[in-house]
Structure 1
């Protein structure tokens, strides 16, 4: 594989060592460096183009201190209602790069998948097109990497989980992607590790067995598996996936590449949850579809029992009924700080003859929150929020 910069300079890209598993490696105890930027993917409908834009979250969403955030919170009651009545919205950051697929696939919005390669830093974004072509853009170098083709088409709401293993003086990085298919979830892993050893195999995708999430009323292989609704990395060798439709969960062993049934319960969040070592808890968000409440949840979990929700906080006020939540994304900024992205569809101008997919307006709210310890355990501190309402554009996801 080769590395391209603005079509002028070619540099040989890194290749990957075959992973060697360490029994002492445990991803849940690895600490993530504090993030400053987020990667905003914006979809321009008329042009069929996806643009990557970087936003400095520590500057735009967080006050200098917890005390300053608490003082400001007391003075901004009703700010969201005021914004909906016509206050100016935020302008998008400048474009770093544009992504597009073949013209006949431009309308397949739900099949344009983006994810962050956490092992490469906060600015390494991969894009998988509907025809499974894959590329990576590195914001720190302004380079574009050509990557191996994926095995499956990936929906935009596929769940991606990162695992870093340590052994033999090197870190080995893997990105697990759980999507939705006709027979449950499509599952594969991207192995990626930068190395100067060109004799080793390059980065590669590997298909994995689908999660066996079957409804209890139809047990065994004669029933149709349900697509996963949430997943979490339990440790360096275990992934847990669950399905609300199936009412069940299963554990995946990343070494043996085998699934085993876990129980008739589901994770208390939607999408991916992340372990925060300084709190000893997993954090995630509730489902956006059909749910007007906006909750950040912290739960305790191990492989021997059902997850237990320890805390649940409302991070955003409810909007009027014509604003329907569309999607939510949670970014761990480090040091107890999170960026939560909530996107809405406005159906206020719809008539009985207007199809539901004829969305009039879209709104995305980025909210900065901080979780801190207090005498009762933990509390949430709300910092700043920014709102984006765009013509001919929508925020596809925030990484």
Structure 2
């Protein structure tokens, strides 16, 4: 759940450096995404390209027989509403927690089952909940929580994983693997997941599942609750545009979207040669920076076949665009207005994946 305090003035971007087999994490200063309050009227400008800052840390996964191992970043979480801890786990289940503020790495006990393929992760009620995004039939340990304490033999509290009851439908006869399309927090203690089989809620207090309905949420990916306006912010399942709904969790019926905003960077692609190549958005995320400020992150991809003397070789290019956003009540007082500020572009080379944290 989003809080109104100023949380953090940065965005963490983790990448997979396929050439070196490492995962550097870059901490990008988000203050450059916003105009000063005394700067007058905000105007949308084309993204300015910047080099990625030097990595604040680089992870190396456990090796495997085929070479470099695979690692997945689970997201940011923390204690006492301070989300400054970055969790990462590799294919062997080796778990690491990195303190972004103090630059300290801690090795934590491994989860009972490895978590991969960008699982669902939610920081709620002093625990960090992690659930497989692909729900495989009968997989008992697909849902776990990373919690702090109890103390070890030396009396020192520690992070540890505990298994949680998985969604009940994965044990139904004839059930086939299903992907979670959207997820969010409802109230102070419930996690909601949306699948093609319906939408379900998990109460973290009673550790019980309940089916909200046979419908899906009109979002895709993570949906954040914005308590100041009683609205859930995310991306439309229909066209990947930023949107919000005030109806999530309010009834047993499928919620509708109150507003779908236009892309704040319509001029982005026109500034590049062959702009039609840069229409594939791989990933969209909304990062809450605190108060009314957000960062919209879009990961673009272009794959072009290059003809060489050795045959056709696909060449991939990826870059992210970060846009500062401020949300405030609309002038009519009947909704929320999105005000885009500055945009920055960061280009990758030879990167096979990217996590925005």
State the TM bucket, normalised to the shorter chain.
0.7 to 0.9
Task: Decide whether aligned partners of structure 1 residues 47 and 233 sit closer, same or farther in structure 2, where only a CA change above 3 A counts.
Answer: same
| Contact 2:62–2:94 (8 Å) recurs in 1 | no
SS of the aligned residue for 1:329 comes to strand
* Equivalent of residue 141 in structure 1, options 102, 106, 125: 102
| Contact 1:37–1:122 (8 Å) recurs in 2 | no
CA distance in structure 2 between the aligned counterparts of 1:118 and 1:316, rounded to whole angstroms: 32
| Contact 1:213–1:228 (8 Å) recurs in 2 | no
* Equivalent of residue 61 in structure 1, options 26, 33, 44: 33
| Contact 1:212–1:250 (8 Å) recurs in 2 | no
Structure 1 residue 310 corresponds to structure 2 residue 267: no
Task: Decide whether aligned partners of structure 1 residues 275 and 141 sit closer, same or farther in structure 2, where only a CA change above 3 A counts.
Answer: same
| Contact 1:238–1:252 (8 Å) recurs in 2 | yes
CA distance in structure 1 between the aligned counterparts of 2:29 and 2:152, rounded to whole angstroms: 32
Q: Which residue of 2 aligns with 1:129?
A: 90
Structure 1 residue 295 corresponds to structure 2 residue 241: yes
Give CA-to-partner distance per residue, 1:191-233, whole Å, 9 cap, x none: 136999964863221222332458xxxx954332522121111
CA distance in structure 1 between the aligned counterparts of 2:168 and 2:38, rounded to whole angstroms: 44
Q: How many residues align?
A: 337
Q: Which runs of 4+ in 1 moved over 3 A?
A: 30-34, 105-109, 193-202, 219-222, 318-321, 348-351
SS of the aligned residue for 2:43 comes to helix
TM-score, normalization by structure 1: 0.75
Gap runs ≥5 in structure 1: 1-26, 84-88, 165-172
Structure 1 residue 182 corresponds to structure 2 residue 136: yes
| Contact 1:184–1:213 (8 Å) recurs in 2 | no
Give CA-to-partner distance per residue, 1:262-282, whole Å, 9 cap, x none: 101112222221111112111
- CA RMSD in angstroms, aligned pairs only: 3.1
| Contact 2:317–2:350 (8 Å) recurs in 1 | no
Q: Which residue of 2 aligns with 1:262?
A: 212
Tell me the CA shift for residue 349 of structure 1.
3.4
Task: Decide whether aligned partners of structure 1 residues 126 and 47 sit closer, same or farther in structure 2, where only a CA change above 3 A counts.
Answer: same
Task: Decide whether aligned partners of structure 1 residues 193 and 199 sit closer, same or farther in structure 2, where only a CA change above 3 A counts.
Answer: closer
Structure 1 residue 222 corresponds to structure 2 residue 210: no
Give CA-to-partner distance per residue, 1:70-91, whole Å, 9 cap, x none: 4332xx3xx36xx8xxxxx311
Q: Which residue of 2 aligns with 1:170?
A: none
CA distance in structure 2 between the aligned counterparts of 1:304 and 1:177, rounded to whole angstroms: 26
Task: Decide whether aligned partners of structure 1 residues 181 and 308 sit closer, same or farther in structure 2, where only a CA change above 3 A counts.
Answer: closer
Q: Which residue of 1 aligns with 2:272?
A: none
CA distance in structure 2 between the aligned counterparts of 1:394 and 1:368, rounded to whole angstroms: 26
TM-score, normalization by structure 2: 0.83
Gap runs ≥5 in structure 2: 270-274
Structure 1 residue 102 corresponds to structure 2 residue 55: no
Q: Which residue of 1 aligns with 2:355?
A: 397
Deviates more, 1:193-202 or 1:297-306: 193-202
SS of the aligned residue for 1:302 comes to coil
